[in-house]
Every structure is written in C-alpha cells, then in structure tokens.
Chain A
Amino acid sequence: MVSDREDQVFYGNKVFNYRRAVSFVELGIASMGEDLDEQIEAKETEFSSFTKRMEELKSEFAQETIRLPWNGTEKPLKNT
C-alpha cells in the first residue's frame, strides 16, 4: 500500500527529473550522463580564452587611445 505522501514524493521526483531532462534538451547538451563538472570545466576554459584575448584588446585599445589626442601634432609642445 502506497501512502499519499510517498505518492507525492514519487511524482514530485518524476516531474523534477523530467524538467531536468527537458532543460538539457533545451540547452542542446547531448548527454545527461556526461559529467556536468567536466562540461563546466571545458566551458570555463573556452570562456577564459575569450576573456584573455579581450583583455589584450582592451590594452591595445588603451595604447591606441593614448596616441589619439596628439595625432597630427607634428612637434610636441616644449616645456617652458
């Protein structure tokens, strides 16, 4: 004999697991069996390669901006 409480837990878990599977499908992530930690680590590595390059570009842009105001100034102002 299954109690109402056990029934609720059973169906509650079923709904929870169903949602979990659906959200994986929505994400386009192939296998639920694949270790989530590994996927996160791989994604973090991929993400950090972007941020690393973006930081380099930020520095390059800063250097180019430093040169910008005085473009066209053929001779620098002398100290007086």
Chain B
Amino acid sequence: MIKYPEVLLGIPEVQTTRMKNQVTQLIKDTEKTVKKEFDNPALWWHLKPRLHESIKLYLQIGDQPPQILDRAVRHVLGHLGVILEEFKFNVSASGTTSSYKEFWFDRPLDVGEAATPSYPNLLKWTREMQQTIQEYNAKYVKATEVYAELYALRKEKKKNQATDLWESI
C-alpha cells in the first residue's frame, strides 16, 4: 500500500474491500500455512536422518540464516505476493516474468515444475528464531555423529548375523 499507493487509489472500492478481506484471511491462516510448509520432512534432518549431509546445513553465518529454512520462511511470506499480483501491485508470484515487476516466486530446479510464491526482499529473522535454529544446529552436529555411530553398529550387527549364518551351514 505504501510502496504503490497509486495502485490502491486507482482500484474500485469494492476491489479494495475484497483485497483487504483476502489479506485478513491470509493473516488468520498463517498458522496453517506455516504448519503446511514446515511439515516437509526434507527441511528437518531429525525427521529424515541421513549420512553424509553437509555439516553447515543449519549454520547461520552472520545475519545470513541457513538457506534451507530461509527458503521455507520466504515461501510462507510469499502467499502475500499472490494477493498483490491479483490486484496488480507490480508483483509476480506465479512465475510469469515481465518488466516493471517484483519477482515474488522461487523457481524450482526441475524443469516444468510450477514456481512457488516466495518473499524476495530483505528478511531478518527475529532474535528468537535465530537462537532456536542455533540450538537446532548444535543438536544437529552432535546428532549426525551419533547417527553415524549407530549406523556403523547396525551394519556391524548385520555382518555378524551374516557370518553366523554362514558358519552355521
């Protein structure tokens, strides 16, 4: 509204009301939106433990949050872009590109996949968010070590079982 006041002033009042209702609904749905985005197990190592993952996956460097979660947070905020695009606020959230537009979408690496709405501007996490992920990162680093040891022990057990089976025949 503040960035493009002429757009808001130029649309009929009925549309302004509709837009405001959509924004209000978006705010109400924030919890649902966050849950849907964050329930993706690929975001959280502990939900899908794997060997050989980068040790820096959740590392915050300076003010730069870890990319994997920064992207998810931007996807949550990107829903606003869909409304802004609908009401012609010089925003593209659907993946269409043309000049004079802010690109509010994240283009997936796979060709043919639809673009995901994503907040494009400077985004600073709150102190609480940063502290939470710092602790998550500390746990992650230790957990990966424990997981590797557990994996090796399980493998050793399988080897022993195979040996015992072999020797028993």
Contacts and interface: CB of A to CB of B under 8 A. Distances in A.
B47 to A, nearest CB: 8
A73 B168 CA distance: 72
B27 A58 contact: no
The secondary structure that dominates the B interface is: helix
A43 B146 contact: yes
A65 interface: yes
B114 interface: no
Interface residues of B, number: 46
Contact of A66 (B17, B34, B47, B153): B34
B149 A27 contact: yes
Contacts of A69: 27, 30, 76-77, 80
A80 interface: yes
A11 to B, nearest CB: 14
17 contacts: A13-B167, A27-B153, A40-B150, A43-B149, A46-B146, A50-B143, A51-B49, A51-B143, A57-B133, A61-B129, A61-B136, A64-B126, A65-B38, A68-B126, A77-B23, A79-B24, A80-B21
